[in-house]
Amino acid sequence: MTDIQLFIPCYIDQLYPETGFNTVKILEKAGCKVHYNPEQTCCGQPAFNSGYWEESASLAEKFLHDFNPNMPIVSPSGSCSSFVIHHYQKILAGKPALLAQHEQIKNSVFELSDFLVNILKVEKLGAKFPHKVTFHDSCSALREYGIKDEPRLLLSQVTGLELVEMEECDTCCGFGGTFAVKNNSISAAMAEKKVQNALATGVEFIVSTEASCLMNINGYIAKNKLPIKGVHLADILACGY
């Protein structure tokens, strides 16, 4: 049995807790003993993206204290994982003790599908989802963390699921953190294009590794009462067992 630490992002903790529970279910099915520190909070990405680097640094310091660098830290978010891995050295510049801690911990942080496929070597979890789906590549998960094939490989092993690629699957959905608030009309147009590309494939669901993207996509879908739904990869991988 592999001991792992679970890192749950803000959006999942506050808005989609079932996705967090499903992540535990998946990891346990894959043979992990899941450890969860209830003191954990935000990784600091929203503050960083809004220009509040000092506040982000405080959250980064807390993250470093909340997690053990000697045990894998697994999260159902490539965006938050990549922020911890790639951006802490910027906001902790001039703090050598914390930078040393970051050097210790950054190689222990994993997005869920990456951890399952590349570390545990698990592809088939016994999930069943008899629906036609397409996949949305999150900007951060794809370009910063570097996952592309892993979620698709896991989906290919789900009984009854048919994966159909949409046009511009790797184009931004328009969320971008506070971008969606400050540039609402542009964000809505980007979400519209993403959803229309998905609808053109005839699928029932848009799958992603990012709850934040799905929140933006589902907001557009709900507002326009469209016959499609965004769903997190973890929620599909936890179905049927």
For residue 220, what is the domain's CATH number? 3.40.50
Domain, as residue range, for 67? 2-119
My answer on whether 150 and 100 are in the same domain is: no
- Residue appearing with tokens 């869920």: 112
My answer on whether 71 and 139 are in the same domain is: no
pLDDT tens track for 151-167: 999 999 999 999 999 99
Average pLDDT, the chain: 94
My answer on whether 178 and 215 are in the same domain is: yes
My answer on whether 50 and 156 are in the same domain is: no
My answer on whether 47 and 156 are in the same domain is: no
**Residue 156 domain-assigned?**
yes
My answer on whether 95 and 12 are in the same domain is: yes
Residue where one domain finishes, among candidates 95, 119, 143: 119
My answer on whether 101 and 71 are in the same domain is: yes
Contacts of 214 (CB under 8 A, 6+ apart): 16, 206, 208, 230, 231, 232
My answer on whether 95 and 187 are in the same domain is: no
Contacts of 232 (CB under 8 A, 6+ apart): 16, 19, 22, 76, 207, 208, 209, 210, 211, 214
Average pLDDT of the residues in 62-83 = 97
Contact indicator for 210, 194 with CB cutoff of 8 Å: no
How many angstroms separate the CA atoms of 123 and 117, rounded?
A: 6
How many angstroms separate the CA atoms of 206 and 164, rounded?
A: 10
My answer on whether 164 and 110 are in the same domain is: no
My answer on whether 60 and 145 are in the same domain is: no
- pLDDT at residue number 13: 94
Residue where one domain finishes, among candidates 119, 151, 176: 119
pLDDT at 169 over 80: yes
**Residue 125 domain-assigned?**
no
My answer on whether 109 and 136 are in the same domain is: no
**Residue 78 domain-assigned?**
yes
Residue where one domain finishes, among candidates 119, 153, 184: 119
Nearest Cα neighbor of 21 from 177, 187, 195, 239 is 239
My answer on whether 7 and 67 are in the same domain is: yes
Q: Distance from CA of residue 36 to its chain's centroid?
A: 17
pLDDT at 180 over 70: no
**Residue 217 domain-assigned?**
yes
Number of domains in the chain: 2
**Residue 31 domain-assigned?**
yes
pLDDT tens track for 82-113: 999 999 999 999 999 999 999 999 999 999 99
pLDDT tens track for 126-151: 999 999 999 999 998 999 999 999 99
Nearest Cα neighbor of 152 from 177, 116, 179 is 116
**Residue 124 domain-assigned?**
no
Tokens of 187: 């964000």
pLDDT tens track for 199-215: 999 999 999 999 999 98
pLDDT at 54 over 90: yes
**Residue 126 domain-assigned?**
no
Nearest Cα neighbor of 183 from 174, 192, 196 is 174
**Residue 214 domain-assigned?**
yes
Tokens of 185: 């009309």
How many angstroms separate the CA atoms of 191 and 220, rounded?
A: 7
